[in-house]
Amino acid sequence: KQEVTQIPAALSVPEGENLVLNCSFTDSAIYNLQWFRQDPGKGLTSLLLIQSSQREQTSGRLNASLDKSSGRSTLYIAASQPGDSATYLCAVETGANSKLTFGKGITLSVRP
Amino acid sequence: GAGVSQSPRYKVAKRGQDVALRCDPISGHVSLFWYQQALGQGPEFLTYFQNEAQLDKSGLPSDRFFAERPEGSVSTLKIQRTQQEDSAVYLCASSTRTGFGYTFGSGTRLTVV
C-alpha cells in the first residue's frame, strides 16, 4: 500500500528565506507526483506536476524535484513571501485506477 | 466549464439526515474522483469513475455512502443517515486521462450536528 509522508507538519520562516519542503513515498511505481497548495477553507490548487520520467519542474519561484528510485520529492520555494503561507500537499498517482495518495501536508507560515 | 465546480460550498446537516453533494467536472474529462478530507489531514480516496462507470469504490467508508455519474459528466455523492464522523470536506477532482494530473474543485464542507 502506498504511503506518503511529509515532515515536518508545520514550518515558520521569515520573509525572504529560501526553503525546502520534503515528501517521501514508499512505492516507486508511480505515474507522477503532484504538489498542491491549500489555503484555509479552500480546495486544492495544483502547483507542479512531475511525470515519473522527469527529474524536476519549475514554475516561477517554485521548483520541484523527483527522485523516484529513492521515493523522494522536494518543493523549493525561493524568496518566500507572506502570501506563500498555506498548506502544501504532495500526492502520487499510482495503480490501475490512477488513484492519488496524499501526504498530510506541511503548513507553512511566512512571517513579514 | 473552466474548472471543477462543486455545490453546495457548505452544508450543515442534522444527524440522521440524507445529503447529496454535486460535482461538475471540466468538460470532456473522462476520470472523476471523490476524496474526503478530515480536519488537519490529507485527502483520502473515496471512489473513482471513468465516464459513467464506477471502477473503484473501495474507499467509501460504509454502505451509507453512494456515488453516481449516470451520463459520464456530473457526479453526485450521497450520504444517507449522516453521522458526526461524516463531517469533513468532500473534494471532487477530474482529469483527461491517466498520468496527466488532476484538477480539484473547491470542495463541500459538510458539518453534521
pLDDT tens by residue, B73-92 = 999 999 999 999 999 999 99
For chain B, say whether A97 makes contact (Cβ under 8 Å). Answer: yes
Check whether A16 has a pLDDT greater than 90: yes
Per-residue pLDDT at B106: 93
Please say if the pLDDT value at position A110 is more than 70.
Answer: yes
Q: Does the pLDDT at position B63 exceed 60? A: yes
pLDDT of residue B78: 98
- Cis amide prior to A8 (ω within 30 degrees): yes
Of A31, A41, A104, the CB nearest to B41: A104
Set of cell numbers at residue B8: 453546495
Query: Confidence class of residue B18 from pLDDT cuts 50, 70 and 90?
Result: very high
Average pLDDT over residues A17-27: 96
Question: Quick one: average pLDDT of B27-47?
Answer: 94
Give the distance from residue B83's alpha carbon to the nearest chain A alpha carbon, in angstroms. Answer: 21
pLDDT band at B49; cut points 50, 70, 90 = very high
User: How many residues does this entry show for chain B?
Assistant: 113
What pLDDT is attached to residue A1? 87
Average pLDDT over residues A4-28: 96
| pLDDT given at position A99 | 87
pLDDT, chain A, mean: 94
Mean pLDDT of B54-76: 96
Tell whether omega for the bond before B8 is within 30 degrees of 0, i.e. cis.
Answer: yes
Q: Is B1's pLDDT higher than 60?
A: no
A24: nearest Cα among A63, A65, A57:
A65
The pLDDT value recorded for residue A48 is 95
pLDDT confidence tier of residue A39, bands split at 50, 70 and 90: very high
- B77: which residues sit within 8 A by CB, 6+ positions away? B20, B21, B23, B34, B46, B47, B65, B66, B67, B90, B92
Contact B109 A104 (CB under 8 A): no
Quick one: pLDDT at residue B61?
95
Task: Measure CB to CB from residue B31 to each of A43, A91, A98 and give the nearest one.
Answer: A98
Q: Residues B92-104: pLDDT tens digits? A: 999 987 667 889 9
pLDDT at A24 over 90: yes
**Nearest-CA distance from B99 to chain A in Å?**
5
Q: Which amino acid is at B23?
A: C
Q: Which three cell numbers stand for residue B18?
A: 440524507
For residue A97, name the pLDDT band (cuts at 50, 70, 90).
Answer: confident
Instruction: Judge whether A96 and A2 are in contact, CB under 8 Å.
Output: no
